[in-house]
């Protein structure tokens, strides 16, 4: 499983989909957590996570389809991932 971290709300879903497999995970951090509330997005993976501290800072109500994780869970995801990518498009 790859863990792909997004930090910006601008992205090309087509480009992201070329990098992802369904079993990969996407982590939304920083301003990318705004993507969690967009209902028009169809994620190319089965698991989408949002960092709790960033969600709370922006006072977002994240849908149930996105798993909100704390820093400890983030570290665990990173350790368990075969590859960790920072998406900067």
Domain ranges of the chain: 2-87
Predicted local distance difference test score (pLDDT) of residue 88: 84
Predicted local distance difference test score (pLDDT) of residue 37: 97
Predicted local distance difference test score (pLDDT) of residue 85: 97
**Which regions in the chain score pLDDT beneath 70?**
89
Pairing of strands 25-28, 47-51: parallel
Q: What is the largest CA-CA distance in the chain?
A: 32
Burial status of residue 25 (CB atoms within 10 A of its CB: 0-12, 13-18, 19 or more) = buried
Fold of 2-87: Hypothetical Protein Ychn; Chain: A, (3.40.1260)
Instruction: Calculate the CA 53 to chain-centre distance.
Output: 14
**pTM of the complete model:** 0.94
């Amino acid at each position: 499983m790859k863990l792909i971290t997004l930090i910006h709300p601008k992205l090309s879903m087509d480009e992201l989909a070329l990098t992802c497999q369904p079993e990969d995970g996407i982590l939304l951090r920083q301003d990318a957590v705004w993507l969690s509330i967009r209902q028009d997005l169809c994620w190319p993976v089965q698991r989408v996570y949002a960092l709790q501290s960033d969600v709370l800072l922006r006072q977002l109500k994240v849908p149930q389809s996105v798993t909100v994780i704390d820093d400890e869970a983030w570290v665990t995801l990173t350790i368990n991932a075969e590859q960790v990518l920072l998406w900067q498009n």
